[in-house]
Structure 1
Amino acid sequence: MEMHHLPFKLRALTLAIASAIIAGQPVSKARAENNLSADTEWSCEIASDGSGWQCSVVPLKQGAMKRAPRPVTAPVVSPASKTMTAVSQPEGIRTQLDWVNKSNLSEARCQRLEREEPWCAGTYVEPTRPGKNFKGDPNSAPIIADADESTYQNSIATLQGAVKIRQGNRQLESDEAYLDNEKNFGEFKGNVVFREPGSLIVGDIAQSQLDTGRTEVDNARYVMHESHARGSAEVILRHEDATMDLDDATYTTCPPGDKGWQLSGDSVTLDPSTGYGTARNAVVRIQNLPVFYSPYLYFPIDKRRQSGFLYPTKMGFNDEAGVEFDLPYYWNIAPNYDATFTPRVMTKRGFLLENEFRYLTEKDEGELGVAGLIGGDQLEDENRHYKKDRWFANARHRRQFNDRWMAELDYADASDKDYLDDFGSSLDYSASSPLNQRVMTRYYGGNDYTNWQTKLDVHKKKNMNRTADDPYNKLPQIELRGNWQATDRIQVNYLADYTYFDRADDWNYVKEQPDPGFPSGSKIFESIYNEGYGIKKAVGSRAYFETGMSYPMYTTWGFLKPEVKVRSVNYSLSNLKEKEVMEDLRNSYVGQEFKDGDFTKTPSTTVPAFSLDSGLYFDRFTELFGTDYTHTLEPRMKYLYAPHVKGQEFNPIFDTGNMGFSYSSLWQDNRFSGYDRLADANQVSLGITTRFIQDDGFERMRFGIGQIFHFDDRKVYIANNLGQAGKVPDQPDEDLIAKDSRLRQELLDSTSPIASEFIYNFTRTMSLRQDFVWNSNENRIDNYALTYRYRPSERKTFNMGFRYADRVERFVKDKDGNYIETGRDDDNNPIYQKAKNDLKATDISFAWPIPYTRNWSAMGRWQYDMTNKRNLEELFGVEYASCCYQVRLFWRSYVKSTDNIDHPKDRSGIYLQFVLRGLGSLTGSSGKEYLQGISGYTIREK
C-alpha cells in the first residue's frame, strides 16, 4: 500500500552528514595499526592499483633490531585544541560540489539530462577515483594511506601534504592529519574532502574521538548526487549514540549558486535510530524571501514515515467555494498504520474536516475515511444544501488469504448527490461515477492445461448523478469462468454467471424542476424520480451460461479459426405488471405482435452460434522516398451464424446496451454488451488491412477498411423508447421515437456501414489518426474522428481533435428545465420544440516551452461544442520549472455535463501550485487534475 510522501525529504541530508562518521572509521583502524608494541612492526607494500601504500601491523620478526625513537617533526595536538588555522577549500570543489554544466558533459549524459530534466543547466557528476566502483563491504576493506610526508613521535602520527586515506569506496582527503594514539583522538586539517559513492562532504577541520565515534566537522558543505540535495552547516556533531546535531544548517535541491529555495534551521537534530529529525526556527525561503516558518518542526530523514503537518493540498479560488485553504496533519501511528487529518477552510461554504486512516499487514491492506462540514453548508446563493450537514465516508479493505484466494471491501456513502461535485475528496472518488458499496471474493485455480476462477460479488451502487437513472445493484453475483486446453489444438472456454438484480423503488429520473422549498427564481432545482414503467421495472435473478470450443490453426502466411458456441440466459422476475409490460412492448417494438398469453416472468433464451475466422498475410519489400519498407496486405474474412430466437423482448435490460460501430466491430460475435440480448446473425465480415513497416519495426502507416454483409434481417434489438409511459419525453433528451425508427431501418439493411481506420506516423513523435464510418445505405457519415498529436519531447505536446456523430434531434428545455411546447397534433398530443443534436466538437490542447526561455512553458485547452455554439472548457496557464522548484498558475472556465444544455451555468476558477523539488508541494493538487486532459502532458513533481 502506497504511503504518504511527507513534506520534508531530508534523508539525503542524513546520509551526507552521516558520511562524517565514516571519516572516523578508517581513522580508528589506522590508530589501531599505529598502536605498535615491542612485539609488532609495520609491514607496507605498494597498493595493487599503484595509488599509494597499503600497510598493516605484523608480529616482529625474531632477531630484528628494536626501533629507535624518531625526532618530533610536528606539534602535538590535544582533543580540546581548536587553535589551528583553517585552510580554505579550493573554490572549484567548495562552491561547485561536483556540479558540471551541460556544455561540459559527455554527449550521452547531456542527452539523458535533456530527456529527463531539460530545464536543468547541468548535473552533479562524481569524478573518477580509485575505489569508486568497489562493491564489497567498506568496513572490512584494507586501509590505504598516501601522503607526501609521514612521521610518528610520542604516540602522535602525523601525515602531511596531499593526505589521502581510502578504505573500499570511501576516501578522505586533507592537507594534514594528526592521530593521537594515547587519547584516541584524530584531527584532519585543511581542505577536508570526504567521498563515498553518491555523496561528498567538504570542510575545514574534522575531529574525531576514535574510541566512541564522536565526530565534529567545522564549516561543512555537502551534496548527494542522485537526489540533487546539497547544503551546509557551521558545525556537524555526531554523538556516541549516532544522533547528529547541526548548527545553522541548510538544505536545498537547487544547483550551486541558485537560491530558488532553501530550508534552514538554527538547530537541527537527526536521529537515525528513529528515522526523524527536528529543527528549531525552521524557515523555508524562496529567492531569499521567507515563505514558511515553524518554531519547531518534525521531518523524516529516511523512508520511515513521521508525524507532522503536510503542505496544503488546496489553495485557490473558484466561484462556488471562494478562497480555499487546507493544512493536513499526518500521524504516523506505527510502521503499518497511519492517519491524515485535513482541516479545510472555504470562505463561502465554511469549515470541512476530512480524516483518513490506513493500515497494511502481511495479508491485509485498507483505508477508512470520513469527511464533513462542521456547522453546515454556509453557501446561501443557489444552494439546495444551505445550512445542511454534509458528509462523506468510505472504507476499503483487501485480504489476500493466499496466492489463489483474495477478498475485498469497497464501500462509500455520502449525504447527498452533490457532495463530491462540490467538495471533491482526497480519497480518489469521482463526482460523476456511482459510489461502490461492494464486497467481493475471488479464487483462482488450474494447472498447465486449464485455468479457472470463481467470484462472489455483492455490489450496490449509489447514484451520484442528479439527472440519471439509478443503476441496478447485484445482490449477489456468482461467476465461474475458465478455459481448458483439451489437445494441442482444441480449446474449450466456459462461463457461468448467476446474478440477482435489484434497485430502489424510485429509480427512474424524469426531469428537474424548480425546488418549491426555495423562493421563485432562485435557480435551485430538484430531481423528480418515479418507479418507472413497463419492462424496465423488472427486478430478479438472471442465470447466464456460455460454452464454446475452437480449433485455431496458425501459420506464417495466415490463420483459420473455427469455433462453435452455445449461450443461454434464464430469468426469474418480479415487480412486473402484465398490462404495463404488454403495453410497453407494443408501443416500443413497432410492427411486432404480442399476445397477452406471451407474458412471462421467467423468460429464457438459448442461442447456438458458429463462426469461422480466417486471414492471410502477404508482404513485399518496397522503397518509398528513399526508405525501405515491408509492405503488408492482410485480407480477413469472418463468417458468423446465430439463429433468431423469439421472445427476447420479455428479457429485462439489466446491464446491456447497443454497442457503437467501428472497424473493430467487424470481428465481434455479439453486437450487444452484457447478457440480456443474444444477437441473431447470418453474416460475412470482409476487411483488409495494409501496413508500411520499416526495418527497425516502426510502423509508418496502417489502413484498414471493411464491411459486414448480412444474409438475413436482424430481428433482435433493444428499443430505445422502452419504459415511456406516455408522449411526454423523459431523459435522455433525444427524440427516442425517431432514434428507434432509425435503428429498425438499420436492421433491415443488407450491409453494415463501411468502417475504416487510418493511422499515419510521420515520426515517432508525430501521428495522425482517422476513424471513419460511412453509412452507404443512407449516404451519410455516422461517425468521424480525426486526431493529430505531436510530442517531440517531454516538455512539448500539441493535440488537435475533431469528433462528429450523427444523432437524432433533441428536445429543447427552458431555463427551468421544462420542455417547450409548440403546439398539438391531430390527437391533441403536445408537440415539443426540437434542436439539432449531432455531436460536433473540437478539442485543442498544448503544453509548450515559451520561446527564448529555458524554464517557462505555456499550457492550455479549448473544447468547443460546434452544434450548440458554446465553450465546454477553456484553460490557460503558465508553468515555471527549474532544477529545484516549479510554479503553475492557470485559469479555467467550464460547464458541467449535467447542466441544462440550453441554459448552462458557466463556472470558473484560478489555481496556483508551488512545488519545491525534493521537499514537496506547497499547494498540493490545486487543480492539477484538470491538466490531465492535455494529452501527453506530464506532471513532473519530485
Structure 2
Amino acid sequence: MEAPVLAQQAAAPSAAEIDWRPKAELPESVRSRLPAFCDGGYLPSGGSDQPGVFGSDQSDTSAPLEASGLNARYEIDRTLRLDGDVRIRQGRFEVTGKEARYDQAQGEVSILGPLVSRGDGFLLTGDTARYSLDSGRFDIDAATFLLHGPEMRGNADSLSRVSESEVLIRDGLLTTCGPRQNDWALVSSDIRLDRAEGFGTAKNVRLEVLDVPVFYWPWVSFPIDDRRKTGFLYPQFGSSSAGSGGFLALPYYLNLAPNYDATLTPQYIHGRGLFNEVEGRYLSQYGQSVLQLGYIDNDKAYADANPGDNGQRWALDASTRARFDNGWTGYGDFSVVSDNDYLSDLNRSLSISQATHLRRRGGFRYRSAGQYFDAFLNDYQTISDYIADVNKPYAQLPEVLYGATADFGGLEMGLESQYTNFYRDNTNLTGLDRANGQRLRAIPELALPLRAPWGFTRPSVSVNYTRYDLTDYSLGDGSFDRTVPVAEWDNGLYFDRRSELFGVPYNQSLEPRLYYAWAGAPKDQNHIPDFDTAIKRFRFDQLFEPNRFSGGDRVGDTNQITVALTSRINDLVTGAERARVSIGQVHYFDDREVTLFGTGGSTRSESPLAGEVVLNPLDTLEIRSSGLWDPKTGSTEEGRSQLTFHSEDYRYLASIGHTYSKDSLDQSDVAAVFPVTDRVSLIGRWVYDSVLDRTVGSLAGIEYNNCCWSVQVVHQGYFTEDQQLDNRLLFQIQLKGLGGSGGASTRLSEAIYGYEEREKRRFGTP
C-alpha cells in the first residue's frame, strides 16, 4: 500500500517548480526586466502575509487550532482525521496537505503530503510533517523551499522549526539556479537558522559545481538578514597578475561593534608567499573612516628580482569624511607604499589607483550660499622611476582658499583668495627650481550682471594680485608682488523656434555669444618659479577665459575678443537634448608675450576655430566630436571623435574613437561587447598609435552568462612606462547570490564605455 503512495509523492513538484514560470508565461512587466540569458523566473501562484514555518513575532501556541478538509472523522477526546484539501492553521502558522490526523492526547498534528506552506516571500513543500500545538515545533520530511527575494531555492532530508525563531535543516542543498539546474550549490549536513540573532551556521559545507564538490568548509557562520555577523566570507581563488600563478584568499569578517568592523584577508600567492590585507571601517556621528593595510613579510619574486632586498613590502590607504553643523565638513586621504612596484605586483583591494603620485591630503571645508572656505595640507609620494626630481609636484603645507559673492542692488561683488606654502625637496635641484616659499593671491571683482529671457550681458573688472615670499631663491630678493588689472565683458543672445521632424516636436535654439577680455599683465614673469602652473589646453570652453595659464604663477597678457555660436535641438516629448553644435574663435589685438619659460606666447592675430558637436539621435547612440582647425593653413590642429552605442539592456556595446594632436599623437580606439548567443558574448578593445606605428593597448575575451552564474576570461595587453607592451590574463567567476572571484570586471569597466552599467544589469532589474 505504501509503495504507490511514495511514488506519487516523489512526483510532487518542488517549491521552486511550483512558482517557476518559463519566460513566455511571465507577465510582460516581469519579462521585460528579465535578462536575456534567463529562461524564466519565479512568480508566486498565491499570496499570503503569513510568515509560515519561519516563525513570527508572537506566540502561536496559545491560539485555537483551526482545521478543515473535504472529509472529516472525529473520535471524541481522541483523534480528528481529515481527508482531501486539508488546511491546518493555528495563529499565524498555516499548512495545506492531502491528509491530516490530530492526536488530541499528545497535542500533535500529522500531515500527509504533498503539503505546502506559503508565507510572505517564501514557499515550502514536503512529504510528511508533524506539528506540536503545545510547543509550536514543526517537523517536515523531504522538504523543498524557495525564498523569492534572493531567488534562492533548496531541499533537505528534514526541516524543523524548533521554536518561533529557530530552524534546523539536515542534509540540505542551497542554490540560486533554476529548478533542476544545479550548476552550483552549497550542500551541508546540518544548517541552523536563528532569526532572533540574525545568523545561521552550517557544518560540513561543500561547494558543488555540476554536482561535483570543488571546495569544503568544516563549519561556517553567515547572516540571514541585514545584521552583520563575524565569520568567514566566501573564498577567492584563481589566477591574477598579482603573482606568477594562482592565488587563494580566505577573507574573515569581524563584526566588532555596531559602528566599526574589520575584514582580514590572508592569501597565498604562488611565487610570492603569504600576503595579508586588512580593512577597518569606523562610523561616527560625523561620518565614516576607512583604513586599509597590505603586508607581505617575504615576497620571494620581488627579492629575486631585487638582489639585496629582504622582500618585506607593505602599503597603507586611509580615508575619512566628516560632516559637521553649519556647513562645515572635514576630509582626509593618505596613501603610501613601500616601493614603486607594489601596486602593479600586489594590490588587488586597496583603494589606490594605478597612478604615478599617491596623494596625502586632509583639511576642513565650509560652504554657504554666499561664501566658501577650504584649508588643507597636501603632499605626494611619487612612485614612478621615470619622473625626475625637477618634475615632482610641490606639497602645499598648507593651502587656504576663501571666496565670497554678494549683491548690492544690481552690482555683484566677489572675491577669490588663496594662500599656499609650497615645499619640495630641493637637495638635487639648481637655479629657480630650488625655490620654495609662500604665495598669496587675491582677486576682487565687481560686475554688473543683467539677464533676460532673450539674453544676458555681464561687464566686470577685477584685480589679480599675487605676493611671494621665497626661500632658496637664486634671482635676488625673494619677496615681491605682482598686480594685474583685468576687464571682461560677456554677452549672449537666445533665439529659438519650434518645429517637427518625423512627427516629433522639437525646439531649436540659436545662441550667439560675444566675449571680450583684457589683462594688463607684465611681459616678463619668468623670474617667478613654477609651483603649480601649466598652459591650459585650448578648447571650446577656454574661449571664454581671460587667462591662458592654470595655477597662479603666470597671468597672461590679454587683449582679445571671442565670437562664438551654439545651436541646440531639444526633443519636446522627452526633454532630451538631441543635438548641440558649437563653434568659436578668438581674435587677438596684441601679441601674447608672457610665457612659462618660453612656452605660451604667440604672435597670431586669431586662434584656430574651436568647435564641438554632440549628437544623440537615439537614447542609445551618442556621437561626440571636438577639435581645433586652423583656417590659415587649412589643417586640423587637434581633434577627438567618439561614437558610442549600447542597446537598451546594454547587451550590445560599441565605441569607435580617434584622438589627434598635430605632430605628437594619432590614436584610433575600437571597443565592443557583442553577444554571439543569449549567453555567450565576445569582448574586445584595440588601441593603435599611428605615430609609433604600433598597438599600444589591446583586450580580447569571452563571457558566458546564465541566470545563476557567469564567467569572463580576458587577455589584456597594456603599454608600460618603459614603452613595452605587457600582457596578462584576467578572469572573473560570479555565482549569483554567492559572490565571485577574480578581477576582470574592474578592468573591463575601465576599458569599455557602458560596461559598468552592463554589470549592474547582468543579474537583475536595472
TM-score by length of 2: 0.89
1:625 CA displacement: 5.4
Task: Decide whether aligned partners of structure 1 residues 884 and 711 sit closer, same or farther in structure 2, where only a CA change above 3 A counts.
Answer: same
Alignment of 1:107-122 (within 5 A): 107-113=28-34, 117-122=35-40
Q: Deviations over 1:275-330 (max 9, x none)?
A: 33222221111111211112222222222333333344463154974444433333
Native 8 Å contact 1:398 1:408 kept in 2? yes
Query: Which residue among 591, 614, 619 is the counterpart of 1:713?
Result: 591
Partner residue of 1:929? Answer: 747
Give the whole-Å Cα distance in 2 for the aligned partners of 1:461 and 1:208.
Answer: 68
Q: Deviations over 1:456-514 (max 9, x none)?
A: 21122111122223211111112222333445x544432322110101224xxxxxxxx
1:540 CA displacement: 0.6
Structure ranking higher on relative contact order (CA contacts 8 Å, 6+ apart) = 1
1:749 corresponds to 2:749: no
Native 8 Å contact 2:242 2:347 kept in 1? no
Task: Decide whether aligned partners of structure 1 residues 539 and 760 sit closer, same or farther in structure 2, where only a CA change above 3 A counts.
Answer: same
1:124 corresponds to 2:42: yes
1:768 CA displacement: 1.9
User: Which letter maps to 2:754?
Assistant: G
1:849 corresponds to 2:705: no
Alignment of 1:28-39 (within 5 A): none
Helix, strand or coil at the partner of 1:762 = strand
1:873 CA displacement: 1.5
User: Which letter maps to 1:424?
Assistant: N
Query: Which residue among 778, 781, 786 is the counterpart of 2:641?
Result: 786
Partner residue of 1:803? Answer: 659
Helix, strand or coil at the partner of 2:542 = helix
Task: Decide whether aligned partners of structure 1 residues 85 and 931 sit closer, same or farther in structure 2, where only a CA change above 3 A counts.
Answer: closer
1:936 CA displacement: 1.2
1:863 corresponds to 2:682: no
Helix, strand or coil at the partner of 1:649 = coil
Q: Deviations over 1:666-704 (max 9, x none)?
A: 122432222222233222211111233333223332211
Q: Please give the root-mean-square deviation of Cα atoms over the aligned residues, in Å.
A: 3.1
Query: Which residue among 207, 211, 217 is the counterpart of 1:294?
Result: 217
User: Which letter maps to 2:671?
Assistant: S
TM-score by length of 1: 0.73
Alignment of 1:147-166 (within 5 A): 147-149=69-71, 153-154=76-77, 160-164=83-87
User: Which letter maps to 1:219?
Assistant: A
Helix, strand or coil at the partner of 2:618 = coil
Give the whole-Å Cα distance in 1 for the aligned partners of 2:59 and 2:333.
Answer: 52
Native 8 Å contact 1:316 1:323 kept in 2? yes
Native 8 Å contact 1:207 1:215 kept in 2? yes
Q: Deviations over 1:94-116 (max 9, x none)?
A: 45131111111222322222xxx
Larger strand proportion, structure 1 or 2?
2
User: Which letter maps to 2:715?
Assistant: W
Give the whole-Å Cα distance in 1 for the aligned partners of 2:520 and 2:91.
Answer: 78
Task: Decide whether aligned partners of structure 1 residues 199 and 574 sit closer, same or farther in structure 2, where only a CA change above 3 A counts.
Answer: same
Query: Which residue among 699, 703, 717 is the counterpart of 2:581?
Result: 703
Give the whole-Å Cα distance in 2 for the aligned partners of 1:478 and 1:180.
Answer: 82
Give the whole-Å Cα distance in 2 for the aligned partners of 1:471 and 1:887.
Answer: 42
Alignment of 1:451-490 (within 5 A): 451-468=370-387, 469-487=391-409, 490=411
Partner residue of 1:645? Answer: 522
Partner residue of 2:731? Answer: 912
Partner residue of 1:397? Answer: 320
User: Which letter maps to 1:939?
Assistant: E
Native 8 Å contact 1:348 1:379 kept in 2? no
Helix, strand or coil at the partner of 2:414 = strand
Alignment of 1:24-173 (within 5 A): 88=9, 91=12, 94=15, 96-113=17-34, 117-129=35-47, 147-149=69-71, 153-154=76-77, 160-164=83-87, 172-173=95-96
Native 8 Å contact 1:611 1:638 kept in 2? yes
Native 8 Å contact 2:15 2:146 kept in 1? no
Native 8 Å contact 1:314 1:926 kept in 2? no
1:637 CA displacement: 1.5
Give the whole-Å Cα distance in 1 for the aligned partners of 2:375 and 2:566.
Answer: 42
Helix, strand or coil at the partner of 2:301 = coil
1:169 CA displacement: 9.7
Between the aligned residues of both structures, percent identity stands at 31
User: Which letter maps to 1:936?
Assistant: G
Higher alpha-carbon deviation: 97-106 or 326-335? 326-335
Helix, strand or coil at the partner of 1:842 = strand
Partner residue of 1:263? Answer: 186
Partner residue of 2:703? Answer: 879
Alignment of 1:260-659 (within 5 A): 260-313=183-236, 315-318=238-241, 321-379=244-302, 383=306, 386-402=309-325, 404-444=327-367, 446=368, 450-468=369-387, 469-487=391-409, 490-506=411-427, 530-531=428-429, 533-578=430-475, 599-624=476-501, 627-646=504-523, 648-659=525-536
Larger Rg: 1
Give the whole-Å Cα distance in 2 for the aligned partners of 1:168 and 1:564.
Answer: 79
Helix, strand or coil at the partner of 1:748 = coil
User: Which letter maps to 1:466?
Assistant: D
Native 8 Å contact 2:447 2:461 kept in 1? yes
Native 8 Å contact 1:805 1:840 kept in 2? yes
Task: Decide whether aligned partners of structure 1 residues 276 and 168 sit closer, same or farther in structure 2, where only a CA change above 3 A counts.
Answer: closer
1:167 CA displacement: 9.5
Give the whole-Å Cα distance in 1 for the aligned partners of 2:59 and 2:190.
Answer: 35
Q: Deviations over 1:876-905 (max 9, x none)?
A: 111111111111111122221x21xxxx33
1:839 corresponds to 2:629: no
Q: Deviations over 1:14-70 (max 9, x none)?
A: xxxxxxxxxxxxxxxxxxxxxxxxxxxxxxxxxxxxxxxxxxxxxxxxxxxxxxxxx
Alignment of 1:130-279 (within 5 A): 147-149=69-71, 153-154=76-77, 160-164=83-87, 172-179=95-102, 183-240=106-163, 242-279=165-202
Native 8 Å contact 2:242 2:348 kept in 1? no
Higher alpha-carbon deviation: 321-330 or 684-693? 321-330
Task: Decide whether aligned partners of structure 1 residues 564 and 87 sit closer, same or farther in structure 2, where only a CA change above 3 A counts.
Answer: farther
Partner residue of 2:552? Answer: 675
Give the whole-Å Cα distance in 2 for the aligned partners of 1:857 and 1:474.
Answer: 48
1:931 CA displacement: 4.5
Task: Decide whether aligned partners of structure 1 residues 437 and 619 sit closer, same or farther in structure 2, where only a CA change above 3 A counts.
Answer: closer
Give the whole-Å Cα distance in 2 for the aligned partners of 1:481 and 1:702.
Answer: 33
Give the whole-Å Cα distance in 2 for the aligned partners of 1:208 and 1:769.
Answer: 68
Give the whole-Å Cα distance in 2 for the aligned partners of 1:258 and 1:167.
Answer: 36
Native 8 Å contact 1:543 1:570 kept in 2? yes
Give the whole-Å Cα distance in 2 for the aligned partners of 1:406 and 1:621.
Answer: 46
Give the whole-Å Cα distance in 2 for the aligned partners of 1:560 and 1:706.
Answer: 18
1:623 CA displacement: 4.2
1:215 CA displacement: 2.0
Give the whole-Å Cα distance in 2 for the aligned partners of 1:241 and 1:331.
Answer: 28
1:718 CA displacement: 1.4
The count of residues paired between Structure 1 and Structure 2 equals: 743
Task: Decide whether aligned partners of structure 1 residues 918 and 495 sit closer, same or farther in structure 2, where only a CA change above 3 A counts.
Answer: same
1:939 corresponds to 2:759: yes
1:85 CA displacement: 7.8
Task: Decide whether aligned partners of structure 1 residues 167 and 790 sit closer, same or farther in structure 2, where only a CA change above 3 A counts.
Answer: farther
Give the whole-Å Cα distance in 1 for the aligned partners of 2:50 and 2:434.
Answer: 75
Give the whole-Å Cα distance in 2 for the aligned partners of 1:706 and 1:428.
Answer: 41
Native 8 Å contact 1:481 1:495 kept in 2? yes
1:366 CA displacement: 1.9
1:440 CA displacement: 1.3
Q: 5+ residue gaps in structure 1?
A: 1-83, 507-529, 579-598, 721-739, 808-837
Give the whole-Å Cα distance in 2 for the aligned partners of 1:307 and 1:707.
Answer: 63
